[in-house]
Amino acid sequence: MAQLKTPLAALLCLVLTVASLSRILHVQQIRSPEPAASQASFPRPLKLLENPTNSCVPQDSVYFLKVPKCASTTSFQIFVTYGIKHSLTFAIPPKPGLVPISPRILPPEYHGSPDGRYNMAVCHTQFNREGARQVVKESAKYVAIIREPASRFESVWYYANYERKFHTNLTNFIKATTYSKKQKIFLNTIASYFGVKDPKDRITEREMNVKARELQQSFDLVMITERFDESLVFLKHLMCWDTEDLAYVRAKVRQQEHRTILTEAEKDKLRRINRQDVFLYKFFRRIFEEKVKAFGKERMEREVKEIGEASARFIEDCGAELNGSFRTVKTWRVNNDSSICRMIRLNGVDIEKQLRNRQRIWVSSNLTYDLSTWKFT
């Protein structure tokens, strides 16, 4: 009888142990649920837009496609500010324009990087993927900004003085039934800067779609002018920068007398003659809106507000007032003599001139010059 009790006791102990383990596993499953579907299915292009408490490494290299009249100078100043604060190097063409980015366009007197690569290429250049890869660091992020094409064309008409170029006013230009070869050069500018414009404008939508998808693979972020602050939120997460790094002042704010209110018919005509730009704008706008939705409305509103507050502090610290003028736009005057406050007084061309001089000093010193000591004047 005693021999029978021993196996029974062992069996009872084993049953109790298994039951206890089952309860523990059940509790752990309750406390550690699977990630929500919305978290697991985050779109790939959003890179680094996970929970802001997650650790990430600040990025110090970027290629920025600076398309004219798309809030690109405001964006340019954000990149330059970060680069100056962190003693970074710039790839600067001899003059801004529609020239494909490559090492060949960088004058040696102010480009002396040992490996031929630089932290930032943020001036006006035409995008060329292979050329860009030879100019910026391998870790570089690729960013562009675009604007609704009819609005962009109306803006650039006055800033670039197209009336003098074409010997006609904007209203008559829009009414025209044909356009000269010279005039067509200034159409579809967004497509031109992306390096995908068909000069004869015979490209089909299917062909445009192929090119747009190739560009999507090349660029980490395409910002939208009409959604500028939201674009900066995505830029902040892409680059892993602090909110203060995205503080800005609006550059090239137009004076009221250099604006035209277009009718819907006039806007439609401008869109038709800039149809390649329209395709790219709609393509990337759609992607952008998907990103905003995935990011979350409340979170986006909170982070947009934070950038707005940082920008207000920046303006206050500089004692900045928008009461000067240059050509068709307003300019900033500042009371603070700091380097970055001085920069916002300057137009884009003068900023580039000073950056070239900065790098001339660096190159002439055999790269020993301490870039952190340089200041805007």
Contact of 285 with 224, CB cutoff 8 Å: yes
Residue 119 in 3-state DSSP? coil
- From the CA atom positions of the chain, what is the Rg in Å? 27
Q: How far apart are CA 153 and CA 150, in angstroms?
A: 5
Contact of 59 with 90, CB cutoff 8 Å: no
**pLDDT at residue 349, rounded to an integer:** 92
**pLDDT at residue 323, rounded to an integer:** 85
Strands 329-333 and 321-326 turn out to be antiparallel
Which amino acid is residue 155, in one-letter code?
A: S
Give me the DSSP letters along 198-263: -TT----HHHHHHHHHHHHHH-SEEEEGGGHHHHHHHHHHHHT--GGGG-----SPBPGGG-----
Give the pair of three-digit tokens for residue 335. Answer: 């009371």
Q: How far apart are CA 281 and CA 155, in angstroms?
A: 16
**pLDDT at residue 260, rounded to an integer:** 86
pTM: 0.85
114 Cβ contact partners less than 8 Å away, ≥ 6 residues apart: 367
Q: How far apart are CA 96 and CA 64, in angstroms?
A: 13
Number of Cβ within 10 Å of residue 173's Cβ equals 20
**pLDDT at residue 42, rounded to an integer:** 31
Ordered per-residue pLDDT tens for the chain, 377 residues = 444 444 444 444 444 444 444 443 343 433 333 333 333 333 344 444 444 446 799 999 999 999 999 999 999 999 999 999 999 999 999 988 899 999 999 999 999 999 999 999 999 999 999 999 999 999 999 999 999 999 999 999 999 999 999 999 999 999 999 999 999 999 999 999 999 999 999 999 999 999 999 999 999 999 999 999 999 999 999 999 999 999 999 998 887 778 889 999 999 999 999 999 999 999 999 999 999 999 999 999 999 999 999 999 999 999 999 887 777 788 899 999 999 999 999 999 999 999 999 999 999 999 999 999 999 99
Give me the DSSP letters along 297-357: HHHHHHHHHHHHHHHHHHHHHHT-EEEEEETTEEEEE-S--SHHHHHTTS-HHHHHHHHHH
